[in-house]
Amino acid sequence: MTSLMDQNFATQQGTWHVTSVEGPTLEQPQITVSGYYPNRGGATTRAAQTEIRKSAIARAPADVSASMPIVVEDGEPAETYVTRSTDGTPYWAGGMIKGANGAGCTSGFAIRYGGVNHTTTARHCVSTPYTAWDNKNSSYGSTSGTSSTGLARALSGTGAARMFDGAWNNSSGFNKVVVGSSVVAKGALVCSSGANSGVHCNLQVDNTAVAFNDGYGSATTVRVKQLTSGQIAGAHGDSGGPIFTLDSSDKVYAVGMLQGSLETQITNCGSLRLAQPCSVYIEYSPINTIVSSLGAVLLT
């Protein structure tokens, strides 16, 4: 099945794309390969199905192709139904979460804590249990632990090593994989991914020792400034969201968790899901502080 889902197999078929590969069931002891021609109307011809089937049999391990038939069927393009506001377990970083009192926050990077994978948010997001903003049946859960030095809250909902990217209202569920963590120095550039305001990059670290009181105590945070004129760094409702960098292949390295802003607040925020205000400055707690204080590890 892995072999047949490889895009190289689809490429060998010209413009035919693999949609899914289904293993044998109780009713049908066969491998079913579904696919489609993106720019061609109508069903795949019998001749084309035969050629694709021959290629699939040649690609499959001999013991598989000898023990059961490989059938080719017409399929449809896969649709992504998970977005920032409709995320389901396991939860990704950057999702829009709604508290029991209706307040909004953002989910943070997933961690492995107490031997279990958890999603996270900011400690000052206290209105648990949290649900997905547009799906009250999808629960991020209640508090499993808090970090005083990292200003973070581990939630009982299961987390996954992925992060929502792009605008707050991106309908395709655009996301990227989390592969590691990074400690950045003064002058470095990072990005933020808040569920209320979306992704903002070109944020420069300008102070690595800012005392931030989240209403439940103070801790040392890092301040960043938006360098692009007319752009913001974050907004109300982005609390708990990821601070990150990208490698050359667009994989995510976790840097921290957005906490808020101690600086001047503005109302010219651009497109938002929820409410103003926003700022060109934000503070974040480092991811390494969060995981070490909880005795956890970043999920990658």
Q: CATH number of the domain at 203, please.
A: 2.40.10.10
Same structural domain, 189 and 115: yes
Same structural domain, 162 and 66: no
Q: Which pLDDT tens digit goes with each residue over 176-190?
A: 999 999 999 999 999
Same structural domain, 69 and 112: no
Q: What number is the average pLDDT over the span 50-76?
A: 80
Which of 74, 99, 134 is the C-terminal boundary of a domain? 74
Which of 22, 41, 74 is the C-terminal boundary of a domain? 74
Which pLDDT belongs to residue 56? 79
Give the span between the Cα atoms of 131 and 98, in whole angstroms.
5
Instruction: Give the closest residue to 207 by CA, choosing from 261, 149, 246, 151.
Output: 261
Q: Which pLDDT tens digit goes with each residue over 66-97?
A: 788 888 888 877 665 789 999 999 999 999 99
Q: Is residue 84 domain-resident?
A: no
User: Dihedral, CA atoms, 153, 157, 160, 163, nearest 10 degrees?
Assistant: -60
Tokens representing residue 182 in the block: 């990074």
Which of 74, 109, 128 is the C-terminal boundary of a domain? 74
Q: Which pLDDT tens digit goes with each residue over 198-235?
A: 999 999 999 999 999 999 999 999 999 999 999 999 99
Domain that holds residue 36: 2-74
Q: Which residue has the higher pLDDT, 56 or 177?
A: 177
Cis amide leading into 129 (omega within 30):
yes
Same structural domain, 158 and 48: no
Q: What number is the average pLDDT over the span 110-119?
A: 95
Domain count, the chain: 2
Same structural domain, 164 and 21: no
Same structural domain, 154 and 268: yes
Same structural domain, 41 and 189: no
Q: Is residue 243 domain-resident?
A: yes
Q: Is residue 281 domain-resident?
A: yes
Residues in the chain: 300
Q: Is residue 70 domain-resident?
A: yes
Q: Is residue 83 domain-resident?
A: no
Q: Which pLDDT tens digit goes with each residue over 129-167?
A: 999 999 999 999 999 999 999 999 999 999 999 999 999
Same structural domain, 138 and 286: yes
Q: Is residue 221 domain-resident?
A: yes
Beta strands 252-260 and 175-181 are parallel
Q: Is residue 170 domain-resident?
A: yes
Give the span between the Cα atoms of 269 and 257, in whole angstroms.
20
Same structural domain, 294 and 166: yes
Q: Is residue 80 domain-resident?
A: no
